[in-house]
Amino acid sequence: MESVETVEVTVSGIAHTGPCWMYDVLLGTDGVNDPTIAVYDGLDTSGEKKIPTNTYDAALLGLNGVIFNAKRRCSKGIYVEISCAGAVEVIIGRRGF
């Protein structure tokens, strides 16, 4: 079995280029500023949403964040859209095929 690789994204951008499996998403916040996050199959926001747009309560989540454990197939890549006035990190677990 191949291992799952991770990539950290702190601003909107491409987390993976090309076909892959997205295994999990970990969200960490600065504990103050509420981030709005969406994850797409593609290289920009025109792709199919794999994780819907949601605003997360930074004060509630802090650095422990949210973990999504949903295996999703992405045919074009993984694009993470982040809107936040403060620090946020999104770690994507993925494996190409």
pLDDT digits (tens, 9 = 90+) for 52-95: 999 988 887 555 566 777 789 999 999 999 999 999 999 999 98
| Closest to 27 in 3D by CA, of 53, 15, 9 | 9
Strands (E) located in the chain = 5-9, 13-17, 20-29, 36-41, 48-55, 66-68, 72-74, 77-83, 88-96
Decide if domain 5-96 falls under CATH 2.60.120: yes
What DSSP line would sit under 52-68, residue for residue? EEEE--HHHHTTT-EEE
Residue 65's pLDDT is 61
Any idea where the domains of the chain sit in the sequence?
Answer: 5-96
Residue 38's pLDDT is 95
First to last CA, the chain: 12
Per-residue confidence at 30, pLDDT binned at 50, 70, 90? confident
